[in-house]
A and B are shown apart, each in its own frame.
Chain A
Amino acid sequence: MVTALLLEREGAAPLGAPHMHVREAAEVATRDEASSTIRGSFSLTGVSVAYGRDQVIEGVDMEIPPRSVTALIGPSGCGKSTLLRCLNRMNDELGNVTVGGRITLDGVDIMGKAMDPVELRMRVGQVFQRPNPFPMSIYDNVAYGPRTQGIRRKAELDALVEESLKGSALWDEVKKSLKKHAFELSGGQQQRLCIARALATKPEVILMDEPASALDPISTQQIEDTIAKLKDSVTIVIVTHNMQQAARISDQTAFMLRESLEAPAHLIEIGDTKKMFTNPDDPRTESYITGRFG
């Protein structure tokens, strides 16, 4: 399955894929020419966020390499989720939020006029803290994104639904009951359904905002396994409160901290996960990781 995703992502398949709009196909072509390398890398330079006049994040520089897992850690209220929402411009929906600095996805400024948030969100999917399937069937949940893109052909939708559900390791459990209402699934299954729903638009990046915090240990394990498989084909940025989880699943870890309620949050340190958890450069990182605060 992962190989299938890989092939489709890297090879000529996306160009010729019948479901793509002409415009989209053309963009894929130019993007591919611009960077023949693997897609799905973010670059943040001097990113700041303000809610009204309240500056909450300041001066974040970060490189997110493609096909890797980046974990954002830090105490509650340090702006991890806010920073995550910058990456698919979901902050736009909150109103009263201003994002400064520069964020590029594969070299293209996502905050500029050239980037339509609707198109961005098809390339950068999101999985939320609490499972939030739509009140409709399993099938319709997964098909929601592709249908939004204008895909109508049943065979094509069927294939996307199957591929996406396999991608989130839910296929075997639901393949016989795709017409079942999504609310009949368990919490962990619902969250994997939400991952499948995000996969169905064939994103390059998936943002996860504490995706396992509302789940039991077994479901958490399944989500983590899914993430480990997915990083072969997509970039994952995950916010987590659980440091063992960050250590287990991520390649790179970023530690954010708001040192006082008046001051905005900063990125204290970012680096290879193994190094961050064994030998961090900053004493604040070390005290957070060893549980001295937060």
Chain B
Amino acid sequence: MSRTSRTRRARSAEAVARILTGGAALGVVAVALFVLGYIVYNGIGAIDFTFLTDVPRDRGREGGILPVIVGTIWVTTATAALTLPIGVLAGIYLSEYAPRNLATRAIRLAITNMAGVPSIVYGLFGLAAFVLTAGLGRSIIASALTLTCMTLPVVITATEEALRQIPQDLRQASLALGATRLRTIYKVVLPAAAPGIITGSILGLARAAGETAPILFTGAVFQMRRLPEDLSSQFMSLPYHIYAQVTSVPGWNRTLVWGTALVLVAGVSVVSVIAALWRSAQRRRVKW
């Protein structure tokens, strides 16, 4: 009798747990779909040839967003070019070379703190350090340096984590064959960790591409008729364009602003999805 009731209670608790966890998961999917659907629904009407190839007209109420797209590509590419080498090298150092001592602990603490700094603070820092002190002026390079400070901890952590996933056995095998530590890293450890490093880095860069605060004071402008010419140019950017339209253009064009958001989300998603697909293809091949 008591056994039956205990079984029944256990079974109903199981059912409740299943509904709660499943409901939460479903809720997340619903929110994601809702946000995505809302952006597509509101923005799809703006997407046409003119929108993607024209410059903004009438302060952004008409015309297109070509300089905005190109500016975002410029600053994100520059950020990637700065962040990836520094971040991957630092991650390699922490995972493969760093001794277990106070200095290493300090480096890790610094990285954790860097990740915790709010992006507007990076914007302020970028203005002071890169725009004014370093004399770079408001420019793509000043913004890219600011975004690099913000993205570095993500790339370093992703690299370190990916390298730690590689079994110690593999490093030992390579060293035991007479390979140096350097050769072991670039022939065995890095190739095996590459999918993790690349996925993590792309997520970090996608966040950088969508940030407004760090570029606000360091190089993003409201209106540009021409495309940026080099790293010292000022630039327009998708997130900043949305922010500027909504806050400073009376009678802003709803459709065009949602269209801008759609382009930003689509661009970031396409890159992330490609990274995820590539990673899962690698996973299927390589199991530990």
Do these two chains really belong together in a complex?
yes
- Interface residues, chain A, with chain B CB atoms under 8 Å away: 88, 90, 93, 95, 118-122, 125-126, 128, 130, 132-136, 144-145, 148-149, 181, 183, 194, 197-198, 201
Q: Is the CB of B286 within 8 A of A148?
A: no
Q: Does B29 contact A (CB under 8 A)?
A: no
Known contacts A93-B172, A118-B178; is-contact A144 B191 (Cβ 8 Å): no
- Which B-chain residue is minimally distant from A149 (CB atoms)? B178
Which of B175, B178, B180, B183 gathers the greatest number of chain A CB atoms within 10 Å? B178
Q: Is the CB of A148 within 8 A of B177?
A: yes
Q: Is the CB of A201 within 8 A of B178?
A: yes
Known contacts A130-B169, A132-B169, A183-B286; is-contact A88 B176 (Cβ 8 Å): yes
Q: Is the CB of B191 within 8 A of A118?
A: no
Q: Does B28 contact A (CB under 8 A)?
A: no
Q: Is the CB of A121 within 8 A of B169?
A: no
- Which A-chain residue is minimally distant from B100 (CB atoms)? A95
Q: With the chains together, A194 CA to B174 CA distance in Å?
A: 11
Q: With the chains together, A90 CA to B172 CA distance in Å?
A: 8
Which of A132, A145, A181 gathers the greatest number of chain B CB atoms within 10 Å? A132
Pairs A–B under 8 Å by Cβ, sample size 30: A88-B176, A90-B172, A95-B99, A118-B179, A121-B175, A121-B176, A121-B178, A122-B177, A122-B178, A126-B176, A128-B169, A128-B173, A128-B176, A132-B167, A132-B173, A135-B192, A136-B191, A144-B174, A144-B177, A145-B178, A145-B179, A148-B177, A148-B183, A149-B178, A181-B286, A183-B285, A183-B287, A197-B173, A197-B177, A201-B178
Of A120, A135, A197, the contact of B191 (CB 8 Å cutoff):
A135
Of residues 252 through 288 on chain B, the ones whose CB sits less than 8 Å from some CB of chain A are: 285-287
Q: Is the CB of A148 within 8 A of B179?
A: yes
Give the interface size bracket for B toward A: 20 to 34
Q: Does B170 contact A (CB under 8 A)?
A: yes
Chain B residues within an 8 Å CB radius of A119? 178
Q: With the chains together, A122 CA to B174 CA distance in Å?
A: 11
Q: Does B8 contact A (CB under 8 A)?
A: no
Of residues 158 through 184 on chain B, the ones whose CB sits less than 8 Å from some CB of chain A are: 167, 169-170, 172-180, 183
Q: Does B57 contact A (CB under 8 A)?
A: no
Q: What are the 9 A-B residue pairs with the smallest beta carbon separation, nearest first?
A: A122-B178, A132-B169, A126-B176, A121-B178, A145-B177, A148-B179, A132-B173, A118-B178, A135-B286
Of B170, B180, B191, the contact of A132 (CB 8 Å cutoff):
B170
Q: With the chains together, A118 CA to B176 CA distance in Å?
A: 8
- Which A-chain residue is minimally distant from B167 (CB atoms)? A132
Of residues 38 through 77 on chain B, the ones whose CB sits less than 8 Å from some CB of chain A are: none
Chain A residues within an 8 Å CB radius of B11? none
Q: With the chains together, A125 CA to B172 CA distance in Å?
A: 11
Chain A residues within an 8 Å CB radius of B191? 135-136
Chain A residues within an 8 Å CB radius of B174? 134, 144
Q: Is the CB of B187 within 8 A of A125?
A: no
Q: With the chains together, A135 CA to B284 CA distance in Å?
A: 12
Q: Is the CB of B173 within 8 A of A148?
A: no
Apart from the given pairs A93-B172, A134-B188, A148-B179, 15 other A-B contacts in the complex at a CB distance below 8 Å: A119-B178, A120-B178, A121-B178, A125-B177, A128-B172, A128-B173, A130-B169, A132-B169, A135-B191, A144-B177, A181-B285, A181-B286, A183-B285, A197-B173, A198-B177
Q: With the chains together, A128 CA to B171 CA distance in Å?
A: 12
Chain A residues within an 8 Å CB radius of B286? 135, 181, 183
Shortest distance between the CB of B246 and any CB in chain A (Å): 49
Q: With the chains together, A121 CA to B181 CA distance in Å?
A: 13
Chain A residues within an 8 Å CB radius of B179? 118, 144-145, 148
Q: Is the CB of A144 within 8 A of B170?
A: no
Q: With the chains together, A135 CA to B174 CA distance in Å?
A: 12
Q: Is the CB of B177 within 8 A of A121?
A: yes
Q: Is the CB of B170 within 8 A of A134?
A: yes
Chain B residues within an 8 Å CB radius of A183? 285-287
Chain B residues within an 8 Å CB radius of A135? 170, 188, 191-192, 286
- Which B-chain residue is minimally distant from A134 (CB atoms)? B188
Shortest distance between the CB of B175 and any CB in chain A (Å): 6
Q: With the chains together, A132 CA to B286 CA distance in Å?
A: 13
Known contacts A135-B191, A135-B192, A181-B285; is-contact A201 B173 (Cβ 8 Å): no
Chain B residues within an 8 Å CB radius of A121? 175-178
Q: With the chains together, A93 CA to B181 CA distance in Å?
A: 9
Q: Is the CB of A134 within 8 A of B173?
A: yes
Chain B residues within an 8 Å CB radius of A130? 169
Shortest distance between the CB of A192 and any CB in chain B (Å): 14
Q: With the chains together, A201 CA to B286 CA distance in Å?
A: 26
Q: With the chains together, A198 CA to B178 CA distance in Å?
A: 10
Shortest distance between the CB of A30 and any CB in chain B (Å): 20
Shortest distance between the CB of B83 and any CB in chain A (Å): 26
Q: Is the CB of A90 within 8 A of B187?
A: no
Q: With the chains together, A145 CA to B173 CA distance in Å?
A: 10
Q: With the chains together, A114 CA to B287 CA distance in Å?
A: 40
Chain A residues within an 8 Å CB radius of B285? 181, 183
